[in-house]
Amino acid sequence: MARILVAMSGGVDSSVVAGLLAEQGHEVIGATLQLYDHGAAIQKKGACCAGQDIHDARSVADRLGIPHYVLDREQVFRREVIGDFADTYARGETPVPCIRCNQTVKFRDLVALARDLGCEALATGHYARRLEGPDGPELHRAADPARDQSYFLAATTREQLAFARFPLGGMPDKAAVRAEAARLGLPVAAKADSQDICFVPEGRYDGLVARLRPDAAAPGEVVHQDGRVLGGHAGIVRYTVGQGRGLGAASWDGGRKLYVAAVEPGTRRVVVAPREALATREAEAGEVNWLIAPPTAPLRCTVKLRAREAPRAARIAWDAGAGLLRISLEEPGIVAPGQACVMYDGDRVLGGGFLRARGSVDRGRAAA
Amino acid sequence: MNTPLDLDANATEPLRPEARAAAIAALDLPGNPSSVHGGGRAARRLLEDSRARLAARFGARPQDVVFTAGGTEANALAVRGLAPGRRVLAGATEHPAVLRAAPDAVLLPVLADGRLDLAALDAALAAAGPALVCLMAANNETGVLHPIAEAAGICRRHGALLHVDAVQAAGRVEAAWNLADSLALSGHKMGGPKGAGALLLRPGLDVPALVAGGGQERGRRGGTEPLPAIAGLAAAAEAATPDAALRLAPLRDAIEAAIAAIAPEARFPGRGAPRLPNTTSILLPGVPAETQVIALDLAGVRVSAGAACSSGKVGPSHVLAAMGLGADAACAIRVSLPWNAAEDAAERFVAAWAAMRARLVRVAA
């Protein structure tokens, strides 16, 4: 029996985590993060209004008979997640806000709070497995590949991982989790999954980014990689490397479909090219978090360069001095700067970093 | 597990036995005070008796008492009713019940000890034209008492109306309540049931109803009066005497003295000003109030911090920010002793607070 802080979002997953731990006899404390002003966000079917989520979390905690607290994290979330989201687009990159959120308000801050409250662990509803290895806790993919969230946890530090618990990592599928919710009598057993980016109602984020970083929403040119100006665009915030939509007249060059090959924040130019010109074998990542001892020699592993793709074979080399990960893909792939590169050995997460535009090591200057 | 130690009286006072008895008796009275028959007359008798007792307690005329659902409504009824044609000036540390009823109000600064800056009030009124000044008699977070008599004199000199939010002060300290043009009261903050409050008006002053309904309360508040809560309010107002509340001051002082001895870094915003006898604000630099409130709750000690909104989140304190505390404004908890606080309440609280601080300081080290 231990005192455990459970991050409760109000959804099925974290509700089941709280229920299972309470059933096992632990002293469970529920905490729900208030991350943004729900009144300002528009309610929408499918992606639930988070204001309702707080009420749901509270009613689950009440049902379980555990104490529950709502934590005001609006300021830190605005600064470190929403601010980073807009800044990343303004750099011509594509952010992964769920990783930033896990990295800051979830694991950094909740682990600290859990320690302050005398807890032995922080449990969340993430689908990933934390396994004890010979050199300490390891992060592994969830048993259910369709639900695996290990990609989004790759920035969790080894110290945070040691304190974290993911009780749903071994669940065979979501139906099993819903069945547990029903068995425990939780009022959220049939609640829809949340979707999209939680702080962007209607899935339209360009307005939000435009308010915070008008430079990312200023018009510019769409240019072929050979230098021809093919058209205009209404802001680099709308473009991600590899994207084929939203290019208007610049979508086609004669009979050839064109895709975004690069986004240049300084000139606000979107560079397009035929698909085969986008693929590359070489990529670089910074801000690397290692969940193994940082490798001193090149290493063969698999990598995921975006959340929804199968791991691909690669060779990685860690330049500790430059803080730079060099990735050589076995088969060419499309690299979108700003997305995370997460490294795996089978199911085990070795670490992760954020992809950079090749050659643009000085990101500060590009952002200025 | 020990019985919980409830030190959150400024959120709500425990029900007083006199108020409980009055409310229960009223529950068995079947009539509607607006009915013309005998049952209605019996209900009206209780209503008017409660009104007369409450009026007498605070130096008002019975016909100038408007029963409401609570302090928030009483404040809103006064501010919205008196604001048209007047500039609204409100203290920077007022409760949201006032600030949100007057979103365009000019905020009057407070001194570092939390008391209203009277010179700023004077200057603001000189520039304002017709004005309504809104001031709380006692602050809900620090217990600091505004200089209401002096402020009333300044308002009178400038021809301004003065609305006083007496929700926290009523029953705990005595004041010249009749200096105010309008006075807001809350039943449960005096130990009555939740669900009734009152607005007391100066003779000759009137406010239009926020909810017109059937014209109850002389057309100033529609809806059938909640007799059990009103009877409880009147009984609580008589039972809540400032003399009895003075018993709490030594307990409050003992808490502050013990904490100052344990933690030299701790501070007590508003300690230098005249205060309610039951309230202290305890600031532990560098430790978020949220963490302190949760840690104490898990130890069975119930206190609060900042402004609790309906989501339950602990927001930063606009009161302490207005007192110039900067980032430390997020690091203070409010301890408010209930009217029936046990003699060992201070001792128990200090033990829990010391244990909390020991762990948080060790964790931080």
One DSSP character per residue, B269-311 reads TTTTS-B-TTEEEEE-TTS-HHHHHHHHHHTTEE-B-S-B-TT
> What is the token pair recorded at A236?
């680099």
Q: Is residue A125 part of an annotated ligand binding site?
A: yes
Q: Is residue A194 part of an annotated ligand binding site?
A: no
Q: Do A156 and A239 fall into the same domain?
A: no
**How near does any CA of chain A get to the CA of B120, in Å?**
32
Domain count of the fold of chain A: 3
> What is the token pair recorded at A185?
């009598």
Instruction: Classify B5-12+243-364 by CATH class.
Output: alpha beta
Contact B314 A72 (CB under 8 A): yes
Q: Do A239 and A301 fall into the same domain?
A: no
**How near does any CA of chain A get to the CA of B220, in Å?**
31
Q: Do A139 and A164 fall into the same domain?
A: yes
CATH number reported for the structural domain that contains residue A63 in this entry: 3.40.50.620
Contact B315 A113 (CB under 8 A): no
CATH number reported for the structural domain that contains residue A323 in this entry: 2.40.30.10
Q: Which of A277, A294, A313 is the last residue of a domain?
A: A277
**How near does any CA of chain B get to the CA of A190, in Å?**
23
Question: In whole angstroms, how far apart are CA A85 and each of A92, A200, A264, B269?
Answer: 11, 11, 17, 38
DSSP code string of A266-284? TTTEEEEEEHHHH-EEEEE
Q: State pLDDT tens for residues B185-226.
A: 999 999 999 999 999 999 999 999 999 999 999 999 999 999
Q: Do A90 and A160 fall into the same domain?
A: yes
Q: Do A121 and A31 fall into the same domain?
A: yes
Residue A355 belongs to some domain of the structure: yes
- Contacts A115 to B, Cβ<8 Å: 363
**If you measure CA to CA, which chain A residue comes closest to B316?**
A72
Other CB atoms within 10 Å distance of the CB of residue B272: 13
The whole-angstrom separation of Cα A140 and Cα B308 is: 40
Q: Are A141 and A148 in contact (CB under 8 A)?
A: yes
3-class DSSP state for residue A331?
A: strand
Question: In whole angstroms, how far apart are CA A196 and each of A45, A98, A201, A204, A246?
Answer: 12, 10, 8, 10, 19
Other CB atoms within 10 Å distance of the CB of residue B278: 27
Q: Do A246 and A301 fall into the same domain?
A: no
Q: Do A58 and A68 fall into the same domain?
A: yes
The whole-angstrom separation of Cα B312 and Cα B310 is: 5
Residue A117 belongs to some domain of the structure: yes
Q: Do A26 and A156 fall into the same domain?
A: yes
Q: Do A305 and A256 fall into the same domain?
A: no
Residue A60 belongs to what domain range? Answer: 3-202
Question: In whole angstroms, how far apart are CA B360 and each of B260, B291, B349, B354?
Answer: 17, 9, 16, 10
* A198 flagged as catalytic: yes
A279-282 long-range contacts (CB < 8 A, ≥24 apart) are: A279/A332, A279/A333, A279/A334, A280/A329, A280/A332, A280/A333, A280/A334, A280/A335, A280/A358, A281/A328, A281/A329, A281/A330, A281/A331, A281/A332, A281/A333, A282/A326, A282/A327, A282/A328, A282/A329, A282/A358
**Interface contact B203, partner A, CB < 8 A:** no
Contact B313 A118 (CB under 8 A): no
Catalytic residue among B134, B155, B309, B331: B309
Q: Do A171 and A242 fall into the same domain?
A: no
- CATH second-level architecture of B17-239? 3-Layer(aba) Sandwich (3.40)
**Interface contact B358, partner A, CB < 8 A:** no
Contact B297 A118 (CB under 8 A): no
Phi, psi torsion values for A30, nearest 5 degrees: -90, 140
3-class DSSP state for residue A2?
A: coil
Residues in A whose CB is inside 8 Å of some CB of B read 29, 34, 51, 54, 58, 67, 69-72, 113, 115-118
Contact A34 B313 (CB under 8 A): yes
Q: What is the pLDDT of residue B327?
A: 87
Contact B313 A70 (CB under 8 A): yes
Q: Is residue A150 part of an annotated ligand binding site?
A: no
Q: State pLDDT tens for residues B138-170.
A: 999 999 999 999 999 999 999 999 999 999 999
The residue of A32, A49, A71 whose CB has the most chain B CBs within 10 angstroms, and thus the best one to mutate to test that interface, is: A71
CATH number reported for the structural domain that contains residue A226 in this entry: 2.30.30
Q: Is residue A13 part of an annotated ligand binding site?
A: yes
Q: With a cut of 70, which residues of chain B have pLDDT below it?
A: 1-2, 306-315, 362-365
- Contacts A71 to B, Cβ<8 Å: 290, 313-314
Q: Which of A260, A277, A294 is the last residue of a domain?
A: A277
- Contacts A36 to B, Cβ<8 Å: none
Q: Where in chain B is the domain with CATH 3.90.1150.10?
A: 5-12+243-364
Q: What is the pLDDT of residue A44?
A: 43
Question: In whole angstroms, how far apart are CA A251 and each of A223, A241, A247?
Answer: 11, 14, 5
Q: Where in chain B is the domain with CATH 3.40.640.10?
A: 17-239
Contact B360 A116 (CB under 8 A): yes
Q: Is residue A8 part of an annotated ligand binding site?
A: yes
3-class DSSP state for residue B56?
A: helix
> What is the token pair recorded at B177?
């309540």
- Contacts B294 to A, Cβ<8 Å: 29, 69, 117
Indicate the residue of A54, A70, A116 with minimum beta-carbon distance to B295: A116
**How near does any CA of chain B get to the CA of A335, in Å?**
41
Contact B311 A113 (CB under 8 A): no
- Contacts B290 to A, Cβ<8 Å: 69, 71-72
CA angle at residue A348 from A347 to A351, to 5 degrees? Answer: 130
Each residue's pLDDT expressed in tens, for chain A with a length of 368 residues: 899 999 999 999 999 999 999 999 999 999 999 988 766 554 444 333 347 889 999 999 999 999 999 998 989 999 999 999 999 999 999 999 999 999 999 999 999 999 999 999 999 999 999 999 999 999 999 999 999 999 999 999 999 999 999 999 999 999 999 999 999 999 998 888 877 788 886 778 888 999 999 999 999 999 999 999 999 999 999 999 999 998 988 899 888 999 999 999 999 999 999 998 999 999 999 999 999 999 999 999 999 999 999 999 999 999 999 999 999 999 999 999 999 999 999 999 999 999 998 754 433 333 33
Q: What is the pLDDT of residue A254?
A: 86
Q: Is residue A10 part of an annotated ligand binding site?
A: yes
Q: What is the pLDDT of residue A362?
A: 37
Q: Which of A277, A296, A325 is the last residue of a domain?
A: A277
Q: What is the pLDDT of residue B361?
A: 77
Contact A116 B363 (CB under 8 A): yes
Phi, psi torsion values for B245, nearest 5 degrees: -65, -25
- Contacts B321 to A, Cβ<8 Å: none
**Interface contact B315, partner A, CB < 8 A:** yes
Residue A301 belongs to some domain of the structure: yes
Q: Is residue A14 part of an annotated ligand binding site?
A: yes
> Which value does ipTM take for this structure?
0.88
Q: Are B241 and B82 in contact (CB under 8 A)?
A: no
Q: Do A53 and A189 fall into the same domain?
A: yes
Owner of token pair 């795996």:
A344
Q: Do A226 and A150 fall into the same domain?
A: no
**How near does any CA of chain A get to the CA of B315, in Å?**
6
CA atoms within 13 A on the CB side of A303: 32
Q: What is the pLDDT of residue A198?
A: 83
Question: In whole angstroms, how far apart are CA B191 and each of A11, B19, B149, B241, B305?
Answer: 39, 7, 26, 11, 21
3-class DSSP state for residue B47?
A: helix
